[in-house]
Structure formats: C-alpha cells, structure tokens
Amino acid sequence: MKTDYANSNCEKRVHELLAPLTGVCPDSVWESVSIDLDTKRAEAKNKWANKISNAPRLPLMVAGTILVVTISAWMFFTHKSSLPKNEMVNTTPVKHSISPAPKTDVNVVPVAQVTIPKADVQPSQVADQGSNQQQSMVAVKTEKHKKLIDSLTGKPYQPIELVKENNSPILIHTDNELVTSTDEHVNKGVAIDLNRKDTVSSMRSMVSQAQSVSAADSTQKP
Amino acid sequence: MNTSQLIEGCLHNDTTAQRDFYANYSSRVMGVCMRYASGAKDTEAMAGYVFKKLFEEITKCPADINMNQWVTDRSIWNAIAYLHQDKHRYFIAKTTRYMENKITDGEIVDEATLNTEDSRKIYLAALHALTPSYRILYNLTYVDEMTPDKIIENLEIARETYKAELEQARFQFKQYLNTYLHENGLRKQ
C-alpha cells in the first residue's frame, strides 16, 4: 500500500506522534544551567557591595557634608527662635491682684473683707505684648454661687469680684445688700489702674483706710 | 517537594529546589526542544536556554496554576525566542516546489508496517528539515494546537503572512515526509 502523504491529511497523525514527545536531558544541560544559576546567586549577594564600592566617593562626601551643615543650621535657628517664646509663656508673672489685708492690732472686725475665695488664676494667652501688659492681662474667676458667712456677725456676704476688660482699670465693688456697713466709701466701687507701678501699695492703703473707717463706725454705733 | 515548595525554593535561589525543578520538568522541556530545534546539538543548547529563562520567569508564576501546563507553555515561547536570536538561520527562505521534488522512482514505504517509534523518528526528521520559521508555525498550529489568533498575537505577524507561511510549511513537511519514507523504504528493500 502506497501512501502519498503530500495528498493526505497527516496533521492529525503528527499531533498524535509528536505532542506527547519527551526526551532525556543530558547532564551537560544541567551543568550549564547550574553555572548560570550560581553566577546569578553570587551577583545577587554582591549586588549591594558592588554598588557601594563602585559609587563615586567625592560627590557622596560633598552631599553628606551639605546635609550635615543644613541639618545643624536648621536645628540651631529653630532652637534659638523657640526659646524666648517658651520662656515668656512659662515665666509669665502671676500676681494676685489684691494682697491679703494687713492685720490690725486694734480689736476691730473688718466689715468688707477684700478676699477672693478659691480664685483660679490663669495666665493670658497674649503673653508677648510687653511686660506691663502681661501683668495687666490676668483673668480672675470668682465663684459667684458660693456665699461666705462672716464669722462675727453670722451674716452671709459675697466676695469681691474683679473684672478686667482690655486695658481698663480693675473695678472692685461689693454687693450693697450683703455688706452690713453703711459707709459710702465701701459701697461705692473703687477704680484701680493695674498698669501703674504703685497699684498694690495703693490698694493696700485704700483697704486699710476703709477698714479703719468701718471700725470707727462700729465703735460709735453702740 | 510539592509544586508550591518548588516555586518557593526557586524564588529564594535554593539549589535543592532548583535541582528538583530541573529533574521534574526536564523531560517535558526536552520534548518541546526536540520539536522546535533543528538537531540533537541544537536541542541541548535550546534546552539550556529555556531552563535559564524558566528560572527567571518562575518569580511571575502564579501559585495556583497547573505547573505542567505553565512549563510547557513557557518552554514553547522561550524555544521560539531562542530561534529568533539566530537571525541568520531564521530568515533562510526555502522556495521548494512539490512538483520539482516529487519522488518518481522507488517505492514509498507503508507507514502501517512501521512501529510507533520509527514513525515518530521519521516525522521528527521531516520536522527538523523545515526552516525555523516554518517549523515554528507548523508546531504551533498542528502539534501544540494553538489558535491562529494567539499565534498571530505572539509572533506579531499579519494574518495573511501566517496563512501563506503555514501553507508553505505544510507543503514542505509533506515533501520531506515522502522523502524520508522513501529513503526508509529503499533501506528496507
């Protein structure tokens, strides 16, 4: 039987015979492959070492020097500029607006005691506007709901409230109903300019004056 | 060592895993290279090239893929890449005509009288006789049974070129097959 393959469809036979074709790989193939793999493994190990050793040193040194100088300069200037702010904020002088009244040797009960019960003193946020203004920018909170009782008379009275707005002088006033004294000097408010240097001394003198007047009234009444 | 362990070991350049990968898939790769190469010596060089490429590409291999299919597919395209490297041989044009080379004298041996191994040798010899470009098209179309669209896309050729070259490849393959069968018949006589 003659078979002329040029005129027949032999592609199916080709697929049957050659598709499952396998062969034995000679050792020479693995040798060449393993040499190539070893070379690549060694290259991978020496990759970073070669990069560092082959890198140009002069530009690296220059770049490193510039970097160090830049960082040190930045640290110096930022540290210097931040110091005064911290100092000003932390060292803001907190002064009591009213010093405690001086004790008198005379056995006289003061009618209007100028005290601030449990006053929370907070430093102002605007602390960098000069030392005089810093001293005047002290906010005073008073607890209005608490009523104090005079130990001698047994009558309740409200503490003196300090109100400070902007740069205007602090106004010290007392509640007319709660204070037993009938003296006009005490009932009326007294304006004090905190920007003045002699504010504390003037307040002390005024308080002592008021106490002496009230003491005189109390001795005359009985 | 299972497939995922093989892939993991090859990713970390583990020598044992690479050796096992070679041992598992060398026969499959060799079968592909025998079809696409032009001879025994060329087959060894091609297999070495294909394995080097496989160890590079295994990093991109998905974990859940059929490894046999992946190795076969990548071996085919790397074998074609190997043939494309040798431009001098790849672009040899053969314009043989069937009528010019038709065997007129002698008997063509009956294939039914041959065993499978002999038939395979004759078919393989006819395939090796093709030019590289024809061998690629014939293998991809009839042996690996890839779709024409995939072949055209991967080889980056025009559809008309594909059709024309495939027809030429078929013609030449049958011609060489007749020749080898005739020679075999002569030897038998």
| Secondary structure (DSSP) of A191-218 | EE-TTSTTHHHHHHHHHHHHHHHHHHHH
- pLDDT for position A60: 86
Residue B28, chain A, CB below 8 Å: the answer is yes
* β-bridge mates for residue A170, sequence order: A192
User: Could A25 and B22 be called an inter-chain contact, meaning their C-beta atoms sit closer than 8 Å?
Assistant: yes
How high is the mean pLDDT of chain B? 83
pLDDT tens, position by position, A33-76:
889 888 888 887 787 777 767 777 788 889 999 999 999 999 99
User: Is residue B121 scored above 80 in pLDDT?
Assistant: yes
Q: Which residues of chain A have a CB within 8 Å of the CB of B42?
A: none
ipTM above 0.90, yes or no: no
Mean pLDDT of A69-85: 78
Residue A13, chain B, CB below 8 Å: the answer is yes
Q: How far apart are CA B130 and CA B132, in angstroms?
A: 6
- Sign, CA dihedral A152-A153-A157-A160, equals negative
User: Is residue B148 scored above 90 in pLDDT?
Assistant: yes
- pLDDT for position A123: 52
- pLDDT for position B137: 94
User: Could A17 and B123 be called an inter-chain contact, meaning their C-beta atoms sit closer than 8 Å?
Assistant: yes
- pLDDT for position B185: 61
- pLDDT for position B141: 93
Contact B114, B97 (CB under 8 A): no
Across the interface, of B143, B145, B178, the residue whose CB is closest to A4 is: B178
Best mutation site among B20, B128, B178 for testing chain A: the one with the most A CBs within 10 Å?
B178
Across the interface, of A29, A34, A37, the residue whose CB is closest to B44 is: A29
pTM for the predicted model, two decimal places: 0.54
pLDDT tens, position by position, B97-111:
444 445 555 566 666
Ordered DSSP codes for chain B: --HHHHHHHHHTT-HHHHHHHHHHHHHHHHHHHHHHSSSHHHHHHHHHHHHHHHHHHGGG--TTS-HHHHHHHHHHHHHHHHHHH-HHHHT------TTTT---SSPPPPGGGS-HHHHHHHHHHHHHHS-HHHHHHHIIIIIS---HHHHHHHHT--HHHHHHHHHHHHHHHHHHHHHHHHHHHHHH-
User: Is residue B178 scored above 80 in pLDDT?
Assistant: yes
Residue A3, chain B, CB below 8 Å: the answer is yes
Q: Chain B closest CA to A53's CA: distance in Å? A: 24
User: Could A10 and B48 be called an inter-chain contact, meaning their C-beta atoms sit closer than 8 Å?
Assistant: no
User: Is residue B114 scored above 60 in pLDDT?
Assistant: yes
Mean pLDDT of B135-141: 93
Angle between helices A27-45 and A47-54 (to 10 degrees): 50
Q: Which of A:91-130 have CB within 8 Å of B?
A: none
* pLDDT, greater one: A149 or B189: A149
Q: How far apart are CA A181 and CA A68, in angstroms?
A: 74
Could you tell me the CA-to-CA distances from B117 to A20, B98, B111, B114, B120 in Å, in that order? 12, 27, 11, 8, 5
- pLDDT for position B74: 93
Give percent of chain B above pLDDT 90. Answer: 39
Half-sphere exposure of A196 (CA within 13 A, CB side): 12
- CA–chain centroid gap for B127, Å, is 9
- pLDDT for position A39: 87
Mean pLDDT of A170-190: 49
How high is the mean pLDDT of chain A? 66
Q: Which of A:27-46 have CB within 8 Å of B?
A: 28-30, 32-34, 36-37, 40-41, 44
Q: Which residues of chain A have a CB within 8 Å of the CB of B144?
A: 19
